[in-house]
A and B are shown apart, each in its own frame.
Chain A
Amino acid sequence: MSHGLASHRTSSSVGPTTTTTSTAPAVVFERVTVDYGDGPVLVDFDLEVAAGEWVGLLGPNGAGKSTALGVVSGLVTHEGSTRIGDADPGRWRPRQWASAVALVPQRPIIPPGLTVTDYVLLGRTAHIPTFGIETTTDLDAVAAAMERLDLHDFTDRPVLALSGGELQRVVLARALVQEASILLLDEPTSALDIGHGQHVLELIDALRIERGLTVLSAMHDLTLASQFADRVVLLDQGRTVATGAPRDVLTQQRLARHYDADVQILDDGEGGIIVVPVRRDRPTRAGSSTRPTTTDRSTR
């Protein structure tokens, strides 16, 4: 599987293997700064994500959420240090990255000529020798992922012909067959309607529990983020504003300040919160004059 991770783990696992792997954080950022040339987009970013944890990265557009995911997937050069499991990924080859970290991109590029099976099989790339061919192990993994994600009817369908919700499950299947322990999600629900979005997140959470995955997601939907993430990190212009449990981080004041949003935050009754935008330019609160008419009509 992975050369880096596996060798690190075996070398350090002479003693109590289970305790070291379960307590060691899955991802660590230490003073990570990213600058593409037009000023920093991520500044002194510190974060430890525990194995099996779901951490949501929140913040307005341009806050640095996707950049942070890019750092963990090995796509973005940065200052500061990162650790993945016990390993320093600084010199990892793409193959090692791919067997440790799987990314579900926000807008995946759809290849015109491939079927769903071909596309999901791309996730096995790191497990297949460069000029080799897939084995039955790879095909079994593909079949199992497609079974798990209810993609029975899509095996030979062109990827190009899928709907948004179907595509999201297919991309997720591709990430699953990488058999990486860290799953990165960049706006997993932004292309989906409310029902499909919910379904995908439930699916991800179920998979996280089944397979002990560590999930790091960048999300715009604060309500969904607070319902699914164990912890959230609020970013603004590359800097960390607050880290913690969703209900502690997402306050009315912070959302007003960093999103320039007027919201009401409600309790969902199960420890979660619901973030509701409030319309600002409504004349007054004196909409009450119209209300009786509405009620009258409905009772008639």
Chain B
Amino acid sequence: MSVHQVPNEASGPTPASTSRSAGRGRPRPVVTPSRLPTAGLVVGGVLLVLMALAGVLLGAADLSPTAVLVELADRIPGVQVDSGLDEVARNILWELRLPRVVLGALVGACLATSGAAYQGVFRNPLADPWLLGAAAGAGLAATAVVASGGSGALAGIGVPAAAFVGALGGVAMAWFVGRSTGGRGTAALILGGVAVSAFLTAGQTWLLQRNAETIREVYGWILGRLSTSGWSDVGMLAIPTVLSLSVILFHRRILDVLSVGEAEAATLGVDAVRSRVVVVVAASLATAGAVAASGLIGFVGIVVPHTVRLMFGGSYRAVLPLSMLFGAAFMVGTDLVARTVVAPAELPIGVITAFVGAPFFAFVLRRGRGSVGA
């Protein structure tokens, strides 16, 4: 667990050690701050690789696992082997399964990391892109673009951009509704988010009813699904993902400082307001990207960061990068379940994450009894 060891040189005359040595003759303590634990990286990495392998090996089409592995090995530079897969099978592997696995990993990383980031910024263990209204805002805005016929010309930029604006708007509304109650506790923000989500979702439903022809397209999307449109979705999501997740990861130490509240953080030397705004914008961009690509998938932002906290401690220096990794693995695994459990049909992913996430939410709620509420 300890990545860094401080040499214990009690005799070393550092400038700070001129104080008298407490008179108890005990050596200076060895201090090891929480950092990204190697164990977490290894476990998360192995998990992600396993899930990804399962994701490309299993599916509705009956591809021989050995042949798939050989085909994958063939792509390694310097390796030349013949898998014996025909053109159709190759297409299924390279244009359907693999992009879907990559898309799932990106979406999971976005949702889990932005959930952890929202929790840090709002100092609220229950914050989640879905509960905060970010996802609903993105959903409404994206539906509006689709329904207005913008899906043709604006398809590339219109839906994701609208989703981003909608996500920010949703979070801002939840924040203001929560604040306006005067409640400073964690519950007010979440209740604000629930109210805002209900409102925005109603707006989305209304839009759908008026545009019956798009209803089928959007309905599947509301429940969450990983599209199978090949690499284009992956390409579209990659840029906002890299951008927003880098910004969030750069703030991991700052989020630890913010955990003592805005005022104390300011006395410690952090521009708390600016940092919070930057992180909220980045998390909303990540959420919007995920929603635009995969629809409304709830609870990932709660399940993954809290599992990481239980396993590797609560410092954001560990929680943020590991949420990214575990979130990716979780989403690839969930998608695998979604498309195999009732094969050849598919369950919406949002249904599965809710089955797992809602009980988990209750668990977090119970655990945080002291801090939630009031």
Interface residues of A (CB under 8 A from B): 73-75, 93-95, 97-99, 101-103, 105, 108-109, 111-115, 117-118, 120-123, 125-126, 128, 130-131, 133-134, 136-137, 139-148, 150-152, 155-156, 177-179, 207, 210-211
B271: min CB distance to chain A, Å: 5
B148 interface residue (CB < 8 Å to A):
no
Among candidates A99, A102, A115, A210, residue contacting B34 with C-beta atoms closer than 8 Å: A115
Q: CA separation between A131 and B252, bound complex, in Å?
A: 9
20 residue pairs of the A-B complex, CB under 8 angstroms, read A75-B267, A94-B270, A97-B269, A98-B269, A108-B264, A109-B259, A111-B259, A112-B314, A115-B34, A117-B31, A121-B33, A125-B270, A139-B6, A142-B31, A147-B28, A148-B19, A152-B29, A155-B32, A178-B268, A210-B20
Interface membership of chain B positions 153-179, coded 1 if the CB is closer than 8 angstroms to chain A and 0 otherwise: 000000000000000000000000000
A92: min CB distance to chain B, Å: 10
Q: CA separation between A53 and B259, bound complex, in Å?
A: 32
Please state if A210 and B19 are interface contacts (CB–CB under 8 Å).
yes
Among candidates A75, A133, A136, residue contacting B6 with C-beta atoms closer than 8 Å: A136
Please state if A143 and B267 are interface contacts (CB–CB under 8 Å).
no
B279: min CB distance to chain A, Å: 13
Q: Which residue of B lies closest to A144 (CB)?
A: B16
Q: Which residue of A lies closest to B272 (CB)?
A: A94
Please state if B256 and A94 are interface contacts (CB–CB under 8 Å).
no
Please state if A94 and B31 are interface contacts (CB–CB under 8 Å).
no
**Residues in chain A near residue B251, CB distance under 8 A:** 131
Please state if A144 and B267 are interface contacts (CB–CB under 8 Å).
no
Q: Which residue of A lies closest to B32 (CB)?
A: A117
Interface residues of B (CB under 8 A from A): 6, 10, 14, 16-17, 19-22, 24, 26, 28-34, 125, 250-251, 253-254, 256-257, 259-261, 263-264, 266-272, 309, 313-316, 319, 368, 371
Q: Beyond A105-B267, A150-B24: 13 further Cβ-contacts under 8 Å?
A: A97-B267, A103-B267, A105-B263, A113-B319, A117-B33, A122-B268, A137-B14, A139-B6, A143-B29, A147-B26, A152-B29, A155-B32, A210-B19
Please state if A126 and B256 are interface contacts (CB–CB under 8 Å).
no
Q: CA separation between A121 and B261, bound complex, in Å?
A: 16
Among candidates A74, A115, A152, A155, residue contacting B267 with C-beta atoms closer than 8 Å: A74
Please state if B250 and A131 are interface contacts (CB–CB under 8 Å).
yes
Q: Which residue of A lies closest to B7 (CB)?
A: A136
Q: CA separation between A215 and B271, bound complex, in Å?
A: 25
Q: CA separation between A123 and B16, bound complex, in Å?
A: 14
Q: CA separation between A128 and B270, bound complex, in Å?
A: 11
B18: min CB distance to chain A, Å: 8
Count chain B CB atoms within 10 A of each CB in A117, A118, A134, A141 and give the residue with the most.
A118
B170: min CB distance to chain A, Å: 26
**Residues in chain A near residue B264, CB distance under 8 A:** 103, 105, 108-109
Q: CA separation between A140 and B4, bound complex, in Å?
A: 13
Please state if A144 and B19 are interface contacts (CB–CB under 8 Å).
yes
Among candidates A121, A122, A150, residue contacting B22 with C-beta atoms closer than 8 Å: A150
Among candidates A74, A131, A140, residue contacting B17 with C-beta atoms closer than 8 Å: A140
Please state if B260 and A122 are interface contacts (CB–CB under 8 Å).
yes
List 9 tightest A-B contacts by C-beta distance, closest first.
A113-B314, A98-B269, A126-B269, A111-B259, A144-B16, A109-B261, A95-B269, A141-B16, A125-B268
Please state if A114 and B256 are interface contacts (CB–CB under 8 Å).
yes
Count chain A CB atoms within 10 A of each CB in B10, B14, B319 and give the residue with the most.
B14
Please state if A147 and B268 are interface contacts (CB–CB under 8 Å).
no
Please state if B28 and A74 are interface contacts (CB–CB under 8 Å).
no
**Residues in chain B near residue A207, CB distance under 8 A:** 19
With A108-B264, A113-B319 given, is the CB distance from A144 to B250 under 8 Å? no
With A114-B259, A140-B16, A152-B29 given, is the CB distance from A147 to B267 under 8 Å? no
Q: CA separation between A115 and B314, bound complex, in Å?
A: 9
Q: CA separation between A98 and B256, bound complex, in Å?
A: 16
With A112-B371, A126-B268, A133-B253 given, is the CB distance from A147 to B314 under 8 Å? no
Among candidates A113, A141, A151, A179, residue contacting B313 with C-beta atoms closer than 8 Å: A113
B204: min CB distance to chain A, Å: 35
Please state if B6 and A140 are interface contacts (CB–CB under 8 Å).
yes
Q: CA separation between A95 and B267, bound complex, in Å?
A: 8
Please state if B33 and A94 are interface contacts (CB–CB under 8 Å).
no
Q: Which residue of B lies closest to A152 (CB)?
A: B29
B92: min CB distance to chain A, Å: 43
Please state if A144 and B32 are interface contacts (CB–CB under 8 Å).
no
Q: CA separation between A121 and B35, bound complex, in Å?
A: 12
**Residues in chain B near residue A147, CB distance under 8 A:** 10, 17, 19, 21-22, 26, 28-29
Please state if B33 and A139 are interface contacts (CB–CB under 8 Å).
yes
Please state if A156 and B32 are interface contacts (CB–CB under 8 Å).
yes
Q: CA separation between A54 and B185, bound complex, in Å?
A: 36
Q: CA separation between A87 and B254, bound complex, in Å?
A: 27
**Residues in chain A near residue B29, CB distance under 8 A:** 143, 146-147, 151-152, 155
Q: CA separation between A199 and B312, bound complex, in Å?
A: 35
Count chain A CB atoms within 10 A of each CB in B30, B254, B316 and give the residue with the most.
B30
